[in-house]
Structure 1
Amino acid sequence: MSKSIKKVVLAYSGGLDTSVILKWLQDAYQAEVVTFTADLGQGEELGPAREKAEKAGIKQIYIDDLREEFIRDYVFPMVRANAVYEGEYLLGTSIARPLISKRLVEIAHETGADAVAHGATGKGNDQVRFELAVAALDPSLKVIAPWREWDLNSRTKLIAYAEQHGISVPKDKRGEAPFSVDANLWHTSSEGKLLEDPSEEAFNEVCLRTCHPEDAPDKAEYITIGFERGDAVSVNGQALSPAGLVTKLNELGSKHGIGRLDLVENRFVGMKSRGIYETPGGTILMTAHRAIEQLTLDRGATHLKDELMPKYAKLIYEGFWFSPEREMLQAAIDHSQRYVSGEVRMKLYKGHALTVGRSSPNSLYSLAHVTFEEDEVYDQKDAEGFIRLNALRLRLIAERKQRLGEND
């Protein structure tokens, strides 16, 4: 390890791992440590993080409320793309990392630090996400990843180190943690330990944000979500800020048991992992956004977006938010949202968020064209030539097979 590091900005939660990392950085690098704690709507009291940092002798402590920026500048652009990783995952952990990384770099510049540090392990995706983001934003900064350097490779060793250096260890940390949890305003993610056997049902033990669907109200609830240029702006006619809107949808989704997911995913580093995710408001919002696009995007734009989406989602998952290709895709996606405005009516019931109606002043839906009744705008005879032209290449291929005696 380099001994030339003078000041490090640490992504700090105040938990056992990052508290140990804080002290370890001071000892191993003889460096001044600046702590940064991001409020992304994880629902935890952040005061203790400040108190622990102060007790550790930290002079520069940053605790930033980033909830609005998180939803407005990271989640909403992702929603415009309808981004879903491997068919199901709404990217709640992935999309938070570029914002945390950006603020780490900004604080490094503000404080004159020459390094940043994170608590991600050497097995997961987060180490990649943090470090790719830092490389894109300031490649001159050193990134310190203690889990890849130290020998504190067990909970027992961490606790022993903490006790040796006077770091308080909560009682619930002395035993083996049943699973790890990452939370923000968009989702919760739980994985590891108790959850490592993918054959075992885990919702009952894990879910923190949603009720069990079978315990949800027996009466459905109807809500209306308003959109302007691809972004949700209101719920039931009430204008809300980005973070306020997601908070409101989280309350509704939680009440009705919406947004639970048990997923075995492919990590970027190569292994499979099993996670339990809760994205109540996000599940409602993504469904509603799809519904308003059904009215306002034409077929070509819709199908192209659907082709681009897996690539876009993969870029977010793998940590390439600040890459030129993600920015290129975002420009195309944002251009597609010009007319994506209107209202979507949703039915929330026992774990389901169902679209039951949508309307838009920019609708491309034409009742005059699709009606089964008599109309004056569509000549059904035109379909004959349309079909004949589209069948031409298939006919030529079939005739060649007949000529060559091929029956398959």
Structure 2
Amino acid sequence: MATTERAIASAEAHSAHNYHPLPVVVASADGAWMTDVEGRRFLDMLAGYSALNFGHGNRRLIDAAKAQLDRVTLTSRAFHHDRFADFCTQLAELCGMEMVLPMNTGAEAVETAVKTARKWGYRRKGVPDGAARIIVAADNFHGRTTTIISFSTDEEARADYGPYTPGFDIVPYGDLAALEAAMTDNTVAVLLEPIQGEAGVLVPPPGYLSGVRELTRDRNVLFIADEIQSGLGRTGKTFASEHEGVVPDMYVLGKALGGGVVPVSAVVSSAEILGVFRPGEHGSTFGGNPLACAVGLEVVAMLRTGEYQQRAAELGDHLHHELGLMTTGGAVEAVRGRGLWAGVDIAPSYGTGREISEKLMGRGVLVKDTHGSTIRIAPPLVISKEDLDWGLEQLGAVLTR
């Protein structure tokens, strides 16, 4: 049995089948390229769902992690450590906020945002105890914890996990009138992805995010922007919310914040909002650990230059222009997205998203499907124009009859 087949068979036998990976076994990676156990090279056009915005094995991030590994990796929050204050200060400054609550995974950060909004609602807004409600959008993806899937509309993610957590109102994404109609005196927050990633890279209609910002401000409701996938350079700006000039009350960050090296997430907000927490009311043993802070500090320093945002904007324009040309041939029905991020709807007669992904894998390109015939394209921001063009050529070849 070949090395790849043996590794896949072993994984199938000994790991839960909660994922359906493409049949490739990666052994090493550098920049925008990955190499499998057979020595075959693949262009990574997914970037770990944006966790690898700065590419595989980014030297600055690896060096920062190695230097910290020799010093201290974990203290727990029972003690201070010498990277924590700098990380919180510099991340808050990058976001134009005042305070940071570090966690590990994106789902933990979303859970933290939910808890923060509820506590703020009871302590600051005066909502009756137990009555707080949070408005979310249909087709959202914010993680997979029990509370988060309770407000999911994806039955695959939600089925068989009840009873579900109450307190959420679901409205259509992009529908400002529906959101306004759902608001009550007990609404404490609106939680949205500025661009819905898992749903197929859905960009809201112009004016939607600014309208949400105006409504929430007028009604004393928190606007929480889940920028776990869309933030930190992916769309050509530090945050996708910036495309409409919007600053939310709270950012939820993850994925690229850890540079693909370690899991790092955070809730970033004002002192008035995050100040609702007192010692013992929320925490995480690993949240804000020295290794995470060392890597996160380097990520913030890299974003502060603006070069990655500019690269995503310029290459993103090229990406969307080239994908737009593919819509004239009948194989591509629609293209959505911003920056180096695109959802591509393939005509069903050409195959499912999974089938197209497998064909691309056969030509040395790795993407991931979602929702039937949609594929997502999100290469590392360090990808060269030549490599990006080569990857798009392979997509064109797959879609040529």
Same fold (TM over 0.5): no
Relative to total residues, which structure has the larger helix share, 1 or 2?
A: 1
TM-score by length of 1: 0.29
TM-score (norm 2): 0.30
Please identify the structure whose Cα radius of gyration is greater. Answer: 1
